[in-house]
């Protein structure tokens, strides 16, 4: 029975018994005590607590659930998963144990056709009533087991509804584990349906057992959960959840991407990795579709951890290219019809996973090399990984501790997590102390600024309408504090009574220039706010000396200021046009306004395509060329908001604000400097657009003369390219396309030649085949052939007539590679190509992978490849002789 039929059978069964079908709640629950929706009853919690009265006292649902409490078991058992669909039926003060138990038995044994003799039941240790009910249905006493609070008393893990439960388990047979029922082996006797008799209220305490029962609920309720994945695995007769129709397409895709088959339920790390990648891809797709985005804590951290574990295991399988975009797309293709939100958020899922995988790959590449080396050293020394090694990977290279533990476990090693925790705690303590010291120095400097303000008042900024002013030196500060004099070559902070220098704010860089007194000259390197309203100029005494109280002339670098103003005005117009093209959600989340250059960060879940970006650039430049007026005016904050002025993210504003209008397109609260007319800001040329985080994009652009110089350089490059192609510039793109097309055709011809050469090689090798029991055998060490070429050659040989076997080997990049294959008739008879290579793989220090007609092995002992080939040949002869 396929999963859509299982869902409909369940819902129809309970709908016919007066249950209202309720849609699944989101994975982000409307409950501050819960991180994610982990059970079908989460959305019904208010009914069970008596906080709300349900419209209908019976309900049934298929609930999306995400749970990572057992994440370490995922892939290592056949039944654990981080995302699952929970089929549930609920009673809010209506029916209780007898109906819940009777209907569960009827549905499983009647409608789903499970063998009653393979069903086992567990009940809470003192629940005599539940056991009697199961016995009356025909469950023999030896298949009813009593378990304690950890297994058969259910709650959400936090204060709230709870109660004893009774679970139905299915015996999957001796190949899955030991006899003895669920109390002995949960892998063999797999829990499929949990019936919770929700009647109590729990308090604070451990999640599984030992928490206090603080009272009774207003009414007795029923909450059941039947795992769709687990039931599907049984009904579809597959070993693991990954092989059900719920995720089988994604599971197969993982194998295609890895270039090898799943080895089966053999307990190998390879099999674990295949299952982890498949499971986590589904969880990731659903979490993003429900609004979770990767982050450093909370739900975002859960998602990021799942993505990083999936990527890590994909790389372990040899999938070196981005995997999550394709895997999550497969999830959406398969489950989108059942869960339409997946299809609606397809593009968002793709963008988020692609960005996260690209970022994490950088961490993985560096961290994995170091971790592999540490694991190899630990193996040689016979010890586990030290806490210091794990900490260095985490602290220096950003390598997550859970991935270090995963990788170590895969290598049969442990990690000293206690020592890691101590080092992390010590670092955090030292960081806090350093922060206190830093803040102590900053506080001392702030105190000095306050004393200056108390004595002299705030800076009178006169730079909006001039770049030169007569000023007086109020204070000089060096590293030790306030000083009276600064000598030639000394860097200091300078405070003036009035200043034409703009202090960095709102993304606009501070002004530079110079200050001249009768006794010396200072170069102004930067201007920043010391306190709100106090401008502090970082300066170097160029010659002479400067004293407190000296009269001076302050002159701003006017050309730099003008270039900065052009960038700032262009930024405002860019913001307006982005919102016009992309939508109102594209709001500013940061900026950097510099002379001739701007950087603009904004919210948008996806790359701005080349067409959209060109359209935005054209809109900006056309608008600036229309020469809109630039109007600056002051108003109260309320008046500004009423007038539609945009307040920018992260900026602080007072009760009275400065507003900048650029024509009728842009109205923003802004304290920066601007051009007088729009045409003075252009042109603007976009040079880049990129992602800087989930849901955040960045545009970088040049303005004014810098934009023109960039255009000139681009024109020069086009001219040079046209010259190399010997065509006019306007014909260069077409000529280059034709050249590239010809190159592609040449490469295709080269592929045809390679195929012909491979066929010739296959013919030559076939001519040297030995005969074994009426079959042929080719065993060959081929020098100079890459591992990528070896497999196609083996495949071609295996397609030759008659029963036969192939074992080929080569060395490359310091590794030995072997490929083994049987002809399809032998593979159909049950011979496994992997068996050809098992011993040979060990000889070269590696392992063999593959299923059916072809397999591959590799190892780091290329010098033993001849010996390994001889072993494989011996194995092949034995298999061919023993084959009837």
pLDDT per residue as tens digits for the range 402-449: 778 878 887 888 888 888 888 888 876 776 565 455 444 566 677 788
Q: Please state which of the four CATH numbers 3.30.70.260, 3.30.1360.20, 3.30.930.10, 3.40.718.10 is assigned to the domain occupying 3-236.
A: 3.30.930.10
**Are 221 and 92 within 8 A, CB to CB?**
yes
Per the annotation, does 572 bind a ligand? yes
Q: Please state which of the four CATH numbers 2.40.30.10, 3.40.47.10, 3.10.310.40, 3.40.50.300 is assigned to the domain occupying 761-882.
A: 3.10.310.40
Locus of tokens 């002013």: 469
Interatomic CA distance for residues 466 and 501, integer angstroms: 9
Q: Between 417 and 517, where is the model more confident?
A: 517
What pLDDT, in 10s, does the model give residues 529-561? 987 789 999 999 999 999 999 999 999 999 999
Strand ranges (E), 648-757: 656-662, 666-669, 684-693, 696-703
CATH topology match: 3-236 vs 761-882: no
Q: Is the pLDDT of residue 395 over 90?
A: no
Per the annotation, does 670 bind a ligand? yes
- pLDDT confidence of residue 652: 52
Interatomic CA distance for residues 132 and 142, integer angstroms: 13
pTM of this prediction exceeds 0.75: no
- pLDDT confidence of residue 560: 96
- pLDDT confidence of residue 431: 61
Which pair of tokens denotes residue 563?
A: 């270039």
- pLDDT confidence of residue 79: 86
Look at domain 449-556 and name its CATH class. Answer: mainly beta
Nearby residues of 419 by Cβ (< 8 Å), 6 or more positions away: 386, 387, 388, 391
Model confidence band, residue 387 (pLDDT cutoffs 50, 70, 90): confident
- pLDDT confidence of residue 604: 84
Return the domain boundaries, the chain. 3-236, 247-375, 449-556, 563-711, 761-882
Interatomic CA distance for residues 617 and 573, integer angstroms: 10
- pLDDT confidence of residue 648: 67
Instruction: Give 77's DSSP letter.
Output: S
Look at domain 563-711 and name its CATH class. Answer: alpha beta
What pLDDT, in 10s, does the model give residues 198-229? 999 988 888 778 889 988 998 999 999 999 99
- pLDDT confidence of residue 649: 46
- pLDDT confidence of residue 208: 79
What pairing do the DSSP bridges indicate for beta strands 597-603 and 696-703?
antiparallel
**Are 656 and 635 within 8 A, CB to CB?**
yes
Per the annotation, does 543 bind a ligand? no
DSSP-assigned beta bridge partners for residue 551: 472
What pLDDT, in 10s, does the model give residues 762-773? 999 999 999 998
| Window from 82-91, 244-253, 707-716, 811-820 with minimum mean pLDDT | 811-820
**Are 181 and 172 within 8 A, CB to CB?**
no
Per the annotation, does 604 bind a ligand? no
Interatomic CA distance for residues 410 and 552, integer angstroms: 71
Nearby residues of 426 by Cβ (< 8 Å), 6 or more positions away: none
Residue % of the chain over a pLDDT of 90: 63
- pLDDT confidence of residue 665: 94
- pLDDT confidence of residue 443: 60
What mean pLDDT is predicted for residues 352-356?
A: 88
Model confidence band, residue 586 (pLDDT cutoffs 50, 70, 90): confident
Q: Between 377 and 475, where is the model more confident?
A: 475
């Amino acid at each position: 029975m396929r999963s859509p039929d299982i869902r409909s059978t369940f819902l129809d069964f309970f709908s016919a018994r007066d249950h209202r079908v309720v849609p699944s709640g989101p994975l982000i629950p409307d409950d501050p005590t819960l991180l994610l929706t982990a059970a079908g009853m989460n959305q019904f919690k208010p009914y069970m607590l008596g906080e709300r009265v349900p419209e209908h006292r019976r309900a049934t649902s298929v609930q999306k659930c995400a749970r990572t409490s057992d994440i370490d078991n995922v892939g290592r058992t056949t039944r654990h998963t981080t995302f699952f669909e929970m089929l549930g039926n609920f009673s809010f003060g209506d029916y209780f144990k007898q109906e819940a138990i009777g209907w569960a038995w009827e549905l499983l044994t009647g409608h789903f056709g499970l063998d009653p003799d393979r069903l086992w039941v567990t009940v809470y240790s003192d629940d005599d009533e539940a056991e009697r009910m199961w016995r009356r249905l025909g469950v023999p006493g030896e298949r009813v087991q009593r378990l304690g609070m950890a297994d058969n008393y259910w709650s959400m893990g936090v204060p709230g509804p709870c109660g004893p439960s009774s679970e139905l388990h299915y015996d999957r047979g001796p190949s899955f584990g030991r006899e003895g029922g669920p109390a002995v082996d949960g892998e063999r006797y797999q829990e499929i349906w949990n019936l919770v008799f929700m009647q109590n209220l729990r308090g604070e305490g451990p999640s599984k057992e030992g928490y206090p029962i603080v009272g009774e609920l207003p009414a007795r309720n029923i909450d059941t959960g039947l795992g769709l994945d687990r039931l599907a695995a049984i009904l579809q007769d597959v070993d693991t959840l990954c092989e059900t129709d719920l995720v089988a397409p994604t599971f197969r895709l993982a194998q295609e991407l890895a270039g090898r088959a799943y080895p089966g339920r053999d307990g190998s790390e390879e099999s674990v990795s295949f299952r982890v990648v498949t499971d986590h891809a589904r969880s990731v797709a659903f979490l993003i579709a429900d609004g979770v985005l990767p982050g450093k804590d909370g739900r975002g951290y859960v998602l990021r951890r799942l993505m990083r574990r999936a990527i890590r295991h994909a790389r372990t399988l040899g999938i070196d290219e981005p995997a999550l975009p394709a895997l999550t797309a497969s999830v959406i293709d398969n489950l989108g019809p059942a869960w339409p939100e997946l299809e609606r958020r397809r593009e968002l899922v793709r963008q988020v996973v692609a960005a996260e995988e690209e970022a994490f790959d950088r961490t993985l590449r560096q961290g994995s090399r170091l971790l592999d080396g540490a694991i190899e050293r630990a193996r040689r020394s016979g010890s586990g990984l030290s806490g210091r090694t794990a900490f260095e990977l985490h602290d220096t290279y950003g390598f997550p501790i859970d991935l270090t533990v995963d990788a170590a476990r895969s290598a049969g090693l442990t990690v000293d997590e206690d020592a890691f925790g101590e080092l992390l705690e010590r670092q955090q303590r030292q960081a806090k102390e350093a922060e206190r010291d830093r803040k102590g120095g900053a506080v001392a400097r702030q105190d000095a600024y306050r004393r200056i303000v108390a004595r002299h008042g705030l800076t009178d900024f006169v730079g909006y309408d001039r770049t030169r002013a007569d000023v007086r030196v109020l204070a000089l500060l060096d590293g030790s504090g306030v000083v009276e004099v600064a000598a030639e070559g000394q860097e200091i902070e300078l405070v003036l009574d009035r200043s034409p220098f703009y202090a960095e704010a709102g993304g606009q860089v501070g002004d530079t220039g110079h200050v001249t007194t009768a006794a010396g000259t200072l170069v102004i390197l930067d201007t920043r706010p010391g306190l709100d309203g106090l401008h502090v100029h970082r300066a170097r005494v160029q010659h002479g000396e400067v004293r407190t109280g000296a009269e001076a002339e302050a002159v701003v670098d006017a050309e730099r200021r003008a270039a900065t103003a052009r960038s700032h005005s262009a930024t405002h117009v860019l913001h307006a046009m982005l919102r016009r093209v992309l939508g109102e959600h594209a709001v500013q989340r940061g900026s950097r306004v510099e002379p001739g250059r701007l950087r603009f960060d904004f919210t948008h879940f996806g790359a701005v395509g080349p067409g959209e970006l060109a359209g935005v650039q054209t809109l900006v430049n056309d608008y600036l060329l229309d020469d809109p007026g630039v109007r600056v005016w002051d108003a109260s904050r309320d008046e500004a908001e009423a007038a539609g002025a945009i307040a920018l993210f992260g900026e602080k504003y007072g009760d009275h604000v400065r507003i900048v209008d650029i024509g009728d397109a842009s109205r923003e609260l802004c304290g920066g400097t601007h051009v007088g007319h729009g045409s003075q800001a252009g042109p603007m040329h976009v040079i880049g657009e990129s992602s800087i985080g989930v849901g955040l994009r960045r545009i970088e652009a040049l303005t004014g003369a810098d934009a023109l110089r960039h255009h000139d350089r681009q024109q020069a490059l086009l001219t040079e390219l046209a010259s190399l192609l010997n065509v006019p510039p306007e014909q260069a793109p077409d000529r280059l396309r034709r050249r590239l097309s010809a190159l592609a055709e040449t490469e295709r011809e080269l592929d045809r030649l390679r195929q012909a050469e491979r066929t010739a090689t296959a013919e030559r090798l076939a001519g040297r085949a030995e005969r074994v029991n009426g079959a042929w055998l080719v065993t060959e060490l081929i020098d100079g052939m890459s591992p990528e070429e070896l497999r196609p050659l083996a495949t071609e040989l295996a397609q030759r007539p008659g029963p036969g076997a192939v074992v080929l080997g080569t060395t490359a990049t310091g590794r030995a590679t072997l490929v083994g294959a049987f002809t399809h008739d032998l593979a159909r008879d049950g011979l496994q190509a992997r068996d050809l290579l098992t011993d040979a793989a060990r000889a070269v220090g590696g392992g063999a992978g593959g299923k059916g007609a072809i397999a591959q092995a590799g190892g780091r002992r290329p010098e033993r490849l001849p010996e390994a080939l001889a072993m494989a040949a011996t194995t092949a002869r034995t298999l061919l002789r023993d084959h009837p």
